[in-house]
Amino acid sequence: MRIVVWVCEGTWPACIDAAAELAGVSDAQIVLIHVRDDSPPPPGRPSLLGAARVTRAERENRQLTREAAERMLVRAEARLGRPAQLRLQDGAPERIVTAAAADADYLVVGRDGDRSRLGPQSLGRHTRFVIDHAPCRVLLVWPELAPDLGTIPPPPPIR
Amino acid sequence: MGEFVAVAMLALVLVGAVVRPRGLPEVAFALPAAIVVVVGGLLPLADAWNEVLRLFPVVAFLAAVLVISELCDADGLFRYAGALMAARSRGSGRRLLGYVFVLAAAVTAVLSLDATVVLLTPVVLATASGLGLRSRPHAYACAHLANAGSLLLPVSNLTNLLAMSAAGLSFVGFAGLMTLPWLAAIAIEYVAFRLFFAADLSLPATNSSRPEPPPVPRFSVAVLALTLAGFVVAPLFEVADAWVALAGAAVLLVRALRLRQVALREVTGFVNVGFLVFVLCLGVVVAAVVDGGLGTAIAMIVPQGSDLVTLLLWAFLAALLANLVNNLPAVLVLLPFAASTGAGPVLAVLIGVNVGPNLTYVGSLATLLWRRILHAHDQRAPLREFTMLGLLATPAAIVAAVVALWFSLLVAGGVG
């Protein structure tokens, strides 16, 4: 069995727990993937601040986001409690994650939208794309406790 | 014909600065354009020189403030602020956003918007990711507050410095009238962020370790406070505020060199001289445009008077122009006309050119700079997202700020 887990800030611990449960004691192969949204830099650094300082800030930010992503993947593997393949890529997250699930049996995805009002918006834009196009079974995970049935609004009145 | 050439030169300067073909610096287009308008007789040489003399102290003042902020950064002030935010927000994205708003508004007001974009954004990113929180709302907050948070003090934004002399206001007078508009704009932005990023902000922190903040960098905080106090009292002794900023920068620089926080060879790179020349050339080209027939045309359509509706018209006209031609040219074009009708319209124009650019991606140089700094982060969808957020926040923020300005003017007895 091959399980791909999409690791994102905020939702990953629940996804990892779900993947661990899904894999159980089997010798499932688990891939933890995180994709950094990336594109070439826009031109221009219009500032009175020295160009060197601006470039340094750019580099710092690249480094910071990369380190944060690496840390997150390592912590995710530690939480999983078994070795996994870690993948950190730059590009369009929804497309890369969908492609990574091509030969998987399961794709584990966190529910990352606005969960204060349960409905279509409880899925983020990228997550929606991945669920719509995933080439395998998808396990959709609540980042915290699943809501009980009482949160469902009453049916609309019959006219 | 001359008018056409002047407008074409302005277009060249703006397109050059925004598109930057072949990565050429903005001055590569602005300097030839300024030379064309002067040599072509579109603006008398004496007028061009006067424009340069008028702008230079303003830009130099801002440069000194930016050197202060860079040295504060070298002294660890921004790192300290980040650690403090991390400790205080206790793992909540909403609470962190509150602190980012307070800090970004304060840094923008005191150290200018470039400091927020270049020096604070990495710290905010590091703080959010260190806590394991989504960094997007906090990064966007830096961009929005670099614009909307730049209403308070003349040093917050180059546009304010340009307007201060035109409106005949002192440092304290400016801050007094702009405090309420500043707070109003920030409050509206905060509500918009909470709504727009509700999903991202609701996610809990995934990292529970909370490092203790480092000690307060007392020296730079003290120099900063003294410099600000100097801005208030210097005019009483007929000393220009720029000298106060220069003195503050010099004190910080001596200490930073002694403690080897910065190397001597780095000092020359603190200020982008090319950009300084760009602003001067832009001023000359805009003066040529206003000097020609277009100035008369603008004079016919600008609103007259100082009542609330007029102030709103000024602000929205300025916001529209800022989103069309960028904030710096917009303020240079509108200032002469606004200044002829009083301080109220000038400040309303500032609200328009400072808050308004949050509407689109090209509205202000600060937003362009922020995109550059963050290029690795969330850059693929941002046009739509940035515009949606702008549509939610900006018109309301402008209206709230203008109403607050109108009220301030009323209290100060400036209306009527």
Locate A150 and state its tokens. Answer: 């009482």
Contact A43 B365 (CB under 8 A): no
| CATH code for the domain in which residue A64 is found | 3.40.50.620
Cβ separation A50–B121 shorter than 8 A: no
Query: What letter does residue B211 receive in the DSSP assignment?
Result: P
Dist CA A87 CA B376 (whole Å): 18
Backbone angles phi, psi at B215, to 5 degrees: -65, 155
Split into its structural domains, chain A has a count of 1
Question: Residue type at B35?
Answer: I
pLDDT at B415 over 60: no
| Residues B101 and B124 sit within 8 Å (Cβ to Cβ) | no
A88 bridge partner residues: A34
A46 lies in some domain: no
Domain boundary assignment for chain B: 2-411
| Interchain contact, A48 vs B117, CB within 8 Å | no
Distance CA B311, CA B409 (A): 11
Stretch A29-50: mean pLDDT, rounded?
80
Q: Do B368 and A46 touch (CB under 8 A)?
A: yes
Q: Which of B375, B383, B388 to mutate to test the interface with A (most CBs of A within 10 A)?
A: B375
The model carries a pTM of 0.81
Token code pair at residue B386: 């940035």
Q: What is the dihedral of CA B168, B173, B176, B182, to 10 degrees?
A: 40
CA-nearest of A29, A130, A39 to A83 is: A29
> What proportion of chain A, given as a percentage, has pLDDT over 70?
96
Task: Summarize pLDDT for A54-90 with one digit per residue, the tens.
Answer: 888 888 888 877 887 888 899 999 999 999 999 999 8
Q: How far apart are CA B70 and CA A59, in angstroms?
A: 16
Among B168, B176, B170, B169, which Cα is nearest to B152's? B176
Which residues of chain A neighbour B134 with C-beta distances below 8 Å?
9-10
Contact B310, B352 (CB under 8 A): no
What are the pLDDT digits (tens) for A124-151?
Answer: 888 999 999 999 999 999 988 788 888 8
- Residues near B15 by beta carbon (within 8 Å), at least 6 away in sequence: B29
Domain-embedded: residue A6: yes
CB < 8 Å to B198, chain A = 114, 116
List the single residue in B with minimal CA-CA distance to A59. B373
A121: closest chain B residue by CA: B199
B124 neighbors B374 (Cβ within 8 angstroms)? no
Of A12, A41, A47, the CB nearest to B118: A47
In a domain, A127, yes or no: yes
Residue numbers of the domain that contains A30: 2-41+54-151
Q: Let me know if residue A13 belongs to a domain.
A: yes
